[in-house]
Amino acid sequence: LQQKPWLSVWGPVKITNSVLRSLGVIAFANNPLTGLLILVGMFVGNPSVGYAALLTGSIAVLTSKALGAPDGLVCDGVTVFNSVLMGCVVTAVFPHTQLTADDALHYWLAIAAASVITCYVDLGLNALMAPTGLPAQSLAFNFVAAVGLLAVRGKQLGHGLHDVTAAAAEAAAADAAFNATSNSLYAPEDHNVDWFKVMEGTVLAVGEVYGVGSMTPSILIWLGFLLYSPILSCCFYVGSLIGCCMGVVLSPGPLSQVYAGLWGYNSLLVAGGLSYFLRPSLNMLAAVTIGALMTVFVQAAVLPLFLQTEVPVFSFPFNIVVITVLAIGTQKGTALTFLVDRSFH
């Protein structure tokens, strides 16, 4: 399929292939069937997220071709996945369903434009990181999503900081008044940890990567990963487990965020990313464990800083940790070896 010309009847097929692969590549699983299962999961969990993936993915394929990105990277979805991630996660986070029809149109036009911009930022960041020999992972998604939300938030709410303490008190009061259901993100803090729900969180974490944090989509996505590589899936789960359990220890807020998988997805990605990019060895396994642990601490550390601006941490913790640990593998003689060909770059 890679041999076929883009400007032929094969064009739409090639674009679909790239978009599906990009969905997998978000979690290092370069396989269109994995991508298809993820896409089905999205439509089951939140159709808007699915549409966002198709819209931003197609635009990113065309933009990166126009920008002259290497053909192999475009076909494999490597130049596409940051745009897709931006589209899906922003659509999941932003209350776009409450918009009027008119504003909804503006919303989708803005997402389309942001998809183009994400391609530029991704190519630029990879060029800036080229001397280190490492790919820029999903930094482009993180920067574009954070800048976009910050810019729009200033317009809507003014430039003051979010009063985290007051907001927490309000949420607790509201919870008490309305007798919050167990699904509420702001349930009164359980003093007894519900470990069954923590285990549920370790499964849901994989859905949170794609902005669809409910059970059915998460199971579909796990199936997609198992299909691609049981070993990678295993590392993902170890990461998710470390993230969710440490989240119980480190999260200051209600444990419902741990139960929802929000403390697991960054560690999941780090564990998977390190197992994917590093040569298999005992040292690699140690790095996977330690990397997942580091990620929970980074998440706990940056969370208060992000909360003041109401911007989610996205996958900043994953990017910081995975780039730092992979860098060890670029130096000769160290116990870790970065597999350059794995990065597709």
Q: Nearer Cβ to a second copy, position 199 or 302?
A: 302
Amino acid making up residue 215: M
Residues 18 and 78: their CA atoms lie apart, in Å, by 8
CA distances to 99, 184, 210, 263, 299 from 206, in Å: 28, 20, 7, 11, 17
Compute φ and ψ for 313, nearest 5 degrees: -75, -5
Q: Nearer Cβ to a second copy, position 36 or 168?
A: 168
Question: 245 near 199, Cβ under 8 Å?
Answer: no
* Minimum separation from the CB atom of position 214 to a second copy (A): 26
Q: What is the DSSP letter of 338?
A: B
Which residues lie across from 338 on neighbouring strands?
A: 278
* Minimum separation from the CB atom of position 148 to a second copy (A): 7
Q: Backbone dihedral region of 158: left (phi > 0), alpha (psi from -120 to 50 degrees) or beta?
A: left
CA distances to 60, 61, 336 from 112, in Å: 9, 12, 40
* Minimum separation from the CB atom of position 224 to a second copy (A): 30
Residue 103: which residues within 8 A CB-CB, separation 6 or more?
A: none
Q: Nearer Cβ to a second copy, position 206 or 313?
A: 313
Question: 74 near 103, Cβ under 8 Å?
Answer: no
* Minimum separation from the CB atom of position 164 to a second copy (A): 5
- Residue 240: CB atoms within 10 A of its CB come to 29
* Minimum separation from the CB atom of position 85 to a second copy (A): 18
Q: Nearer Cβ to a second copy, position 223 or 290?
A: 290
Q: Nearer Cβ to a second copy, position 128 or 174?
A: 128
Q: Nearer Cβ to a second copy, position 134 or 205?
A: 134
